[in-house]
A and B are shown apart, each in its own frame.
Chain A
Amino acid sequence: MPIEQIETESLLSAILQGLPNTIEKIRDMRDSFLTDAVLLGEIPSPTYGEEERIRAVMDRFRENGLMNPMVDEFGNASAHLAGTEGQSSIVVMAHADSVFSPEVRHEIQVGSDTMTGPGIADNALGLAAMISIPRILSELNIKLRDNLILVANVKSLGRANLEGANGFLETMSLPAKAGICIEGSTLGRLSYSGLGTLRGEITLQVPADYDWKRFGAAGAISHLTGLINHIREIPIPKEPKTQLVFGGLKCGSSYNTSPRQGSLRFEITSEGDELIGQVENQLNEICEQFSAETGTHVQMEVVAKRMNCGIPFTHPLVKTTRSIMQQAGTTPKVDPSTGDLNALILGGLPAVTLGLTTVENLRETNETVHLDPLYGGMAQVITLIQAIDQGICEL
């Protein structure tokens, strides 16, 4: 075995030995980050409306004595924990936006073993965990050689197309060597690749001069149903793995009036970028044909598009992450990401996304996180930061 490999394994082994202690320390100091999860989670933070939550994150960055706390031109909050050498940096990101609108009551209930409320898993808990990293490192007396860059990124979900994360990485001034994305859900998640994705919205409108006497005349609901049937005829191959999901349908508001307009939201994910392009073309053709045949106005808008990206399963970062998970008693579940990880990897950084704990009712208003597995989930993140810092996650 080459000497470098022996050294790496011995360094990793030493770090892994500390994992049980890290879990216990985190359990002992849980109150501060559970508090942050509740206080942040109770601030509504829809995509494009994250300002108030970001202000609260900035308060915490300042209170924790981090360097250069700032909100950039995209609205992301970031701060640095200076390393002893500072030659390079590790980026830790957690998205600050939530799928819930401000009209939803953002109230988190705290039980002995669970916390429940809209957005607690996705991603108030991830955000709170990111904020708590400097305190945990300090409690564990871990001094990093690298700088740690903490980012609460905005405009991550839905139509935002990772605008916040992309903007941050494009303008980041410090050289970075790896990235970690933290999500509340789900413990065991290991993402090291980003799926090619296309998100779009098709709007259908029945024009004012529509001929209601023509053969097949119908309101927007019937037309949208017909359109969906056409779309479902697009052949979706097993290889490369591809999926077409209808995520939202809006149409009508009464019992007895045919609506004149409606919209359909969809997402195509695929391991083949070319295939995404082909499906996009087919969708455009279907919309054009349907519009012409029915006398309706049908338009497709692409709101987000991402290329496939990733690092290999055998990359030292992935390998080390798997070892850490196994040591923590967690079975890694490989789960390609469609989130911020894509921005990091396409930005040239080896990166992974980790989930913190087990979750029920994800993205429902009664989203629930379990507290007991959380401490192990947090310990994984801390241990991975240590491993990256010690240089054992590099090719």
Chain B
Amino acid sequence: MSTKEQSWLERNTFHHSVFWDLIKLVEEKERKGLKISLCIPTLNEEKTIGKEVLILRSELMERYPLVDEFAVIDSGSEDKTLEVAQNYGADVYLASDILPEVGNKRGKGENLWKAIHQLKGDIICYVDADISNIHPRFVYGLVAPLIHRDEVTYVKAFYDRPLNYSSGIRPSGGGRVTEILIRPLFSLFYPELSNVIQPLSGEYAARREVLEQIPFPIGYGVETSHLLDLYEKFGLETFAQTDLDRRVHRNQTTNALGKMSFGILQTFFNRLHAQGKLDRMPDLDTFYRRFEVEDGNYRQLIQEVVEEERPPMIDIEGYRNRQNPS
């Protein structure tokens, strides 16, 4: 890993606990005249949305006025998501009602994109609706680097990801698409971006001025595209990431992850194509990059994986001689 990358990792990787003093954070936000909007995109999330709205509103709007605006943007839930969210005081919008002149597409990315138009904040924080251990750190941990550091424009979450099964919580197994698809792809094509520990995390906060400059895939590729597009425009320096400890969420089937990977690959290859990386393929990197956390330190492990190849057996003289001794 280059000195520049190591330095970025040290300076721009945080643990949420360093931002525990919410009074100071609110003072700094007010001193800088920033407004913060929180958006939760939903589709049939009645089981978890009540708790998210209750806790985040109560702690971050009423007790500590860090968040100025709290919206749930829904894709057309058929359960009680909207009723429950409204009951606990969220502003609730149907994505189809926002910017109706551009039409309606159904997907999480649509809700995130339309939130930029609907919400007024200088900073927009997105939090997924399926977090069963929601805590205010999921928001203040992400907006704090943007409040404290003017050069930071986009903050990603990372965490331990135990999975929620009917029989209890299992300690590991989350982030399968990250480990199997994204990290190998980044290692090959965008080695610097492999410093982002959980590129697919659904929680992030960003400044309006960068969000309004990038396209939003409607489906699974939205998180990947954000990283690729912002990296291309502004480089690694404007990113930061925060450790939010543990995030408990629903387990997804392998089929669902396959569909997700397919969507992400489309987004990825579209970018490669647009950036000319498909037509003029560079020599591919042979270093595979992954992460390890030990005693609170984040360490990138780099392992050389060289996929050597043998020619078709028919090209080997010894083989041909054995097959055709005459």
Interface residues of A (CB under 8 A from B): 31-32, 34-35, 38-39, 42, 63, 103, 105, 107-112
The answer to whether A105 touches B51 (Cβ under 8 A) is no
Could you jot down 21 A-B contacts, CB within 8 Å?
Answer: A31-B54, A31-B57, A31-B88, A31-B89, A32-B58, A34-B54, A38-B51, A38-B55, A39-B55, A63-B63, A107-B132, A107-B133, A107-B248, A109-B48, A110-B50, A110-B84, A111-B84, A112-B50, A112-B83, A112-B84, A112-B87
Min CB–CB distance B181 → chain A (angstroms): 29
**List of B residues within 8 angstroms of A39 by Cβ:** 55, 135
Closest 10 CB pairs of A and B: A110-B50, A31-B58, A110-B51, A35-B58, A112-B87, A35-B55, A112-B84, A107-B132, A32-B58, A110-B54
Min CB–CB distance B35 → chain A (angstroms): 22
A109-B63 in contact given A38-B55, A39-B135 (Cβ < 8 Å): no
Min CB–CB distance B182 → chain A (angstroms): 28
The answer to whether A105 touches B168 (Cβ under 8 A) is yes
The answer to whether B57 touches A111 (Cβ under 8 A) is no
**List of A residues within 8 angstroms of B226 by Cβ:** none
**List of B residues within 8 angstroms of A107 by Cβ:** 132-133, 248
Min CB–CB distance A253 → chain B (angstroms): 19
Task: Report the bound CA distance from A32 to B59 in whole Å.
Answer: 7
**List of B residues within 8 angstroms of A63 by Cβ:** 63
The answer to whether A32 touches B80 (Cβ under 8 A) is no
Which chain A residue lies CB-closest to B22? A63
Task: Kindly state whether residue B257 has any CB partner on chain A within 8 Å.
Answer: no
Task: Report the bound CA distance from A39 to B59 in whole Å.
Answer: 11
Which chain A residue lies CB-closest to B51? A110
Partner of B47, one of A42, A103, A109: A109
Task: Report the bound CA distance from A109 to B134 in whole Å.
Answer: 11
**List of A residues within 8 angstroms of B133 by Cβ:** 42, 107
Min CB–CB distance B90 → chain A (angstroms): 11
Task: Report the bound CA distance from A107 to B55 in whole Å.
Answer: 14
The answer to whether B54 touches A38 (Cβ under 8 A) is yes
**List of B residues within 8 angstroms of A42 by Cβ:** 133
Interface residues of B (CB under 8 A from A): 46-48, 50-51, 54-55, 57-59, 62-63, 80, 83-84, 87-89, 132-133, 135, 168-169, 248
**List of A residues within 8 angstroms of B59 by Cβ:** 35
Which chain B residue lies CB-closest to A371? B87
The B interface is mostly helix, strand or loop, or mixed, namely helix
Task: Report the bound CA distance from A325 to B97 in whole Å.
Answer: 48
Min CB–CB distance A56 → chain B (angstroms): 11
**List of A residues within 8 angstroms of B83 by Cβ:** 112
Which chain A residue lies CB-closest to B85? A112
**List of A residues within 8 angstroms of B84 by Cβ:** 110-112
A112-B55 in contact given A39-B135, A42-B133, A105-B169 (Cβ < 8 Å): no
Min CB–CB distance B277 → chain A (angstroms): 44
A32-B63 in contact given A105-B169, A112-B84, A112-B87 (Cβ < 8 Å): yes
Which chain A residue lies CB-closest to B61? A31
Min CB–CB distance B6 → chain A (angstroms): 35
The answer to whether A31 touches B80 (Cβ under 8 A) is no
**List of A residues within 8 angstroms of B168 by Cβ:** 103, 105
Which chain A residue lies CB-closest to B169? A105
Task: Report the bound CA distance from A63 to B51 in whole Å.
Answer: 22
Which chain A residue lies CB-closest to B57? A31
Which of B57, B58, B88 is most buried by chain A, counting CB atoms within 10 A of its CB?
A: B58
Which chain A residue lies CB-closest to B64? A63
Min CB–CB distance A36 → chain B (angstroms): 9
**List of A residues within 8 angstroms of B132 by Cβ:** 107
The answer to whether A31 touches B62 (Cβ under 8 A) is yes
**List of A residues within 8 angstroms of B47 by Cβ:** 109
**List of B residues within 8 angstroms of A111 by Cβ:** 46, 50, 80, 84
Contacts A39-B55, A110-B84, A112-B80 supplied; 20 other A-B pairs, CB < 8 Å:
A31-B58, A32-B58, A32-B63, A34-B54, A34-B58, A35-B55, A35-B58, A38-B51, A38-B54, A105-B168, A107-B132, A107-B133, A109-B47, A109-B48, A109-B51, A110-B54, A110-B88, A111-B46, A111-B84, A112-B50
Task: Report the bound CA distance from A31 to B90 in whole Å.
Answer: 12
**List of B residues within 8 angstroms of A105 by Cβ:** 168-169
Min CB–CB distance A259 → chain B (angstroms): 26
Which chain B residue lies CB-closest to A135? B63
The answer to whether B89 touches A109 (Cβ under 8 A) is no
**List of A residues within 8 angstroms of B87 by Cβ:** 112
A32-B51 in contact given A107-B248, A112-B84 (Cβ < 8 Å): no
Task: Report the bound CA distance from A38 to B56 in whole Å.
Answer: 12
The answer to whether A32 touches B50 (Cβ under 8 A) is no
Min CB–CB distance A261 → chain B (angstroms): 28
Partner of A109, one of B50, B62, B169: B50
Min CB–CB distance B214 → chain A (angstroms): 34
The answer to whether A35 touches B54 (Cβ under 8 A) is yes
Which of B50, B84, B169 is most buried by chain A, counting CB atoms within 10 A of its CB?
A: B50
Min CB–CB distance A7 → chain B (angstroms): 40
Task: Report the bound CA distance from A46 to B65 in whole Å.
Answer: 34
